[in-house]
Every structure is written in structure tokens, then in C-alpha cells.
């Protein structure tokens, strides 16, 4: 279905349109969920290129695309590149949205988790605690999106 939706949108809008990018993103996520990481990463990179071209280099949707590429690249074992992309996304979000925005908390969480996976626990703690602090200001303590309600194994502060 996702491939068919992409074909329909490409036919309607051409290859470089935000609607086409959205369909490609959906397909990229499905491919990743199926363990087809190489295809997922390639599709995520296409989405990133379209969004940068149409929205410019500094846009919240470009930051989301950076995260998508990092997700797939990280699963492919490209940990250094994934971390660089996540840090780029974080810096962009801080510039565009300010340091207290919920999307900044998400980016801090992603970088912190990457640091935790790499066993850089001091840096991981710094990123993750900052993310949690931002969330605590804006979310109810029982909100399921609150990072402290999503404890990760292997990191006990």
C-alpha cells in the first residue's frame, strides 16, 4: 500500500513535492520496521534531499529527516554518522525553536541514547537529564511521553 501511495503521489505531483516526500518517509519507516535498513536509509536520504530543496536547509521538517536518516544509518552500524546527524538535528532545533521546545527535548534524548549505546555514560546522563528537565516543565508527570516513564535498560542514573 505504501508503495502504491508513493506511485500515485509521484504521478499527481512529480518526484519533488512535499506530498511525495511524506509518502517516501512512510515507506522508509516501514522498510526499517521490516529490517530492510539499506532501503530505509536510501529512502530517508531522498526525503531529506527533497525537504532541503523545497524548504531550505533550516526547517523543522529537515530536522525530522535528519533523525530518520540517523535511525536507519545507526541500524546499519554507521554509528558515527548517525550521531553526527542527530547532533545536527539538535543544533537546528535549538536555533529554530529555542532551547525549551519539546522537539529539542526529543533531540537531546536521541543524542543521549546514542551516547548511552556507546557507553559514554557521563555525556549520556547530561543529555538525558536535560531532555527530562525540559519535558518536566511541559508535561504532566503521568504523561506516557515523559522520558522517565520510558526507562531504558543499561542506564541507571
pTM of the model: 0.85
pLDDT of residue 104: 95
CATH of 2-141, picked from 3.30.420.40, 2.60.40.420, 2.130.10.10, 1.25.40.10, is: 1.25.40.10
pLDDT of residue 145: 66
Rounded CA-CA distance 53/66 in Å is 14
pLDDT of residue 157: 37
Rounded CA-CA distance 94/155 in Å is 26
Task: For 4-26, write each residue's pLDDT tens digit.
Answer: 999 999 999 999 999 999 999 99
Neighbour tally for 82: CB within 10 Å: 24
pLDDT at 152 over 50: no
Alpha helices in the chain (DSSP H): 2-13, 18-33, 37-55, 60-75, 79-97, 102-117, 121-138
Task: For 31-84, write each residue's pLDDT tens digit.
Answer: 999 999 999 999 999 999 999 999 999 999 999 999 999 999 999 999 999 999
Task: For 74-123, write each residue's pLDDT tens digit.
Answer: 999 999 999 999 999 999 999 999 999 999 999 999 999 999 999 999 99
* 66 in Cβ contact with 92 (< 8 Å): yes
Amino acid at each position: 500500500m505504501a508503495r502504491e501511495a508513493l506511485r500515485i503521489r509521484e504521478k499527481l505531483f512529480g518526484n519533488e513535492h512535499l506530498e511525495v516526500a511524506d509518502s517516501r518517509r512512510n515507506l522508509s519507516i516501514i522498510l526499517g520496521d521490516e529490517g530492510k535498513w539499506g532501503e530505509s536509509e536510501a529512502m530517508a536520504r531522498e526525503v531529506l534531499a527533497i525537504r532541503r530543496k523545497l524548504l531550505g536547509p533550516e526547517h523543522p521538517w529537515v530536522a525530522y529527516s535528519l533523525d530518520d536518516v540517523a535511525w536507519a544509518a545507526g541500524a546499519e552500524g554507521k554509528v558515527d554518522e548517525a550521531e553526527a546527524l542527530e547532533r545536527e538535528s539538535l543544533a537546528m532545533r535549538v536555533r529554530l525553536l529555542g532551547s525549551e521546545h519539546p522537539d529539542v527535548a526529543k533531540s537531546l534524548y536521541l543524542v543521549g541514547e546514542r551516547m548511552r549505546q556507546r557507553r559514554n555514560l557521563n555525556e549520556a546522563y547530561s543529555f538525558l537529564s536535560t531532555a527530562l528537565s525540559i519535558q518536566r516543565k511541559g508535561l504532566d508527570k503521568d504523561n506516557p511521553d515523559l522520558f522517565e516513564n520510558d526507562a531504558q535498560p543499561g542506564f541507571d542514573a
